[in-house]
């Protein structure tokens, strides 16, 4: 074993002796660089390639995803708001997160779309980005509602027409994933938030639906849900008040508690009536005008032919002229009265009252007096 090593030394010793000191330094440095490059290359080959697991996560979802990856001892790294895992583990980690009911809810892009916009962007690109940003901001706003898991807003903004009569209306469609059934008042809240945030969007042109395919608000019915809730509460309050009053009256009269049920039918139509009354006996003068003209015995003026060769003008005298004119006009105002009456909605149309009092037949208790 020692002989081959000794032979190798003897072979390289003349070569090293022929190399100068500076050349030896260069060789050592080159060997060091070669070894370092080989180490880095081998590490690059063994390092897995990363792919995006989730991106644009909100803070709550990002925290849940990281905690679950740490619990699973998975390999990951963060790149801004992106969670990256080895490319071979993307679907495996995503399936594990789904089984643990940990999902990555992405944050829709909003006005940050304009952060890196190019100066050479066309007007069409700017309009599309503006619409996307507006939709993203509305998504973020609706996601803050307690009963809404996710929200997706789509806007249809037509181009400006030359004439106002040819301008098409702005419309919007809202898709909601809710944790519970939304009452009509909250549906109207969604409609009014969207319509108030978009210029030129009328609330009646907003459609709201849920992921189950149920239309919560159809076009033209904006605000109807809130009105219906208010009418229902008014009717229920009236019924509760009447029920309490009748129960107290029955208890006071009979000395025994009674069962009372009251149903009320209310008319919520608002009516306005206007009455005009004229008084023919009223004769108050509003306007008077009098004209008087009189002309008597005025002589006539000089008479003759007008012109250069007309000669001398003669004169005529007349004292028989008489003229007289008299006009009188009076405008009287008739008595005029306008009465406008508005009947508030909620008038009681019908009351149904049911009362049950124990007369002692079943319970053998003393009946009421």
Q: Which residues pair with 328 in a beta bridge?
A: 290
135 within 8 A of 167, measured Cβ to Cβ = no
Run means of pLDDT, 10 residues per run, the chain, 369 residues: 67 69 79 84 70 73 84 82 80 81 68 77 86 90 86 90 87 90 85 91 90 84 60 80 86 78 82 77 76 74 59 56 80 74 80 80 58
Q: Taking the domains of the chain in order of start, what are their residue ranges?
A: 50-100, 111-159+168-219, 222-280+336-359
Q: Which residues pair with 332 in a beta bridge?
A: 285
Q: Write down the pTM of the prediction.
A: 0.47
Please report the pLDDT score of residue 167 as a whole number.
87
76 within 8 A of 67, measured Cβ to Cβ = no
186 three-state secondary structure = helix
Please report the pLDDT score of residue 110 as a whole number.
78
The secondary structure of residue 92, as a DSSP letter, is: H
Q: Cα Rg for the chain, rounded, in angstroms?
A: 49
DSSP string for residues in 220-251: T-TTHHHHHHHHHHHHHHHHHHHHHHHHHHHH
Other beta carbons within 10 angstroms of residue 84's beta carbon come to 19
The secondary structure of residue 54, as a DSSP letter, is: E
Domain 50-100 in CATH 3.30.2420? The answer is no
**Domain 111-159+168-219: assigned CATH number:** 3.30.300.30
228 within 8 A of 188, measured Cβ to Cβ = no
């Amino acid at each position: 074993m020692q002989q081959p090593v000794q032979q190798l030394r003897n072979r390289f010793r003349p070569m090293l002796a022929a190399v100068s000191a500076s050349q030896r330094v260069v060789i050592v440095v080159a060997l060091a660089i070669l070894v370092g490059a080989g180490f880095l290359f081998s590490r690059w080959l063994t390092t897995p390639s990363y792919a995006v697991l989730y991106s644009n996560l909100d803070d709550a979802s990002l925290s849940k995803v990281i905690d679950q990856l740490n619990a699973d001892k998975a390999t990951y790294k963060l790149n801004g708001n992106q969670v990256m895992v080895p490319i071979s583990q993307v679907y495996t980690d995503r399936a594990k997160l789904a089984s643990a009911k940990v999902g990555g809810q992405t944050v829709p892009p909003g006005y940050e779309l304009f952060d890196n916009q190019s100066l050479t962007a066309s007007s069409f690109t700017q309009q599309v980005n503006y619409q996307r940003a507006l939709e993203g901001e509305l998504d973020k706003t609706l996601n803050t509602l307690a009963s809404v898991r996710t929200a997706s807003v789509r806007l249809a903004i037509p181009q400006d027409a030359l004439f106002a009569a040819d301008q098409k209306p702005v419309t919007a469609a809202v898709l909601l994933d809710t944790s519970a059934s939304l009452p009509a008042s909250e549906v109207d809240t969604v409609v009014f938030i969207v319509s108030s945030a978009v210029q030129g969007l009328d609330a009646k042109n907003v459609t709201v639906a849920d992921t189950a395919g149920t239309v919560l608000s159809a076009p033209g019915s904006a605000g109807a849900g809130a009105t219906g809730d208010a009418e229902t509460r008014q009717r229920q309050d009236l019924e509760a008040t009447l029920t309490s009053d009748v129960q107290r009256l029955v208890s006071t009269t009979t000395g025994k508690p009674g069962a009372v049920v009251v149903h009320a039918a209310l008319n919520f139509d608002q009516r306005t009536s206007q009455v005009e009354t004229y008084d023919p006996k009223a004769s108050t003068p509003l306007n008077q005008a009098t004209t008087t003209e009189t002309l008597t015995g005025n002589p006539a003026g000089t008479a003759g032919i007008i012109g250069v060769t007309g000669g001398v003008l003669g004169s005529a005298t007349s004292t028989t002229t008489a003229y007289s004119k008299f006009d009188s006009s009076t405008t009287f105002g008739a008595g005029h009265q306008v009465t406008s009456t508005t009947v508030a909605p909620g008038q009681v149309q019908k009351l149904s009252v049911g009362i049950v009092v124990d007369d002692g037949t079943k319970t053998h208790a003393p009946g009421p007096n």
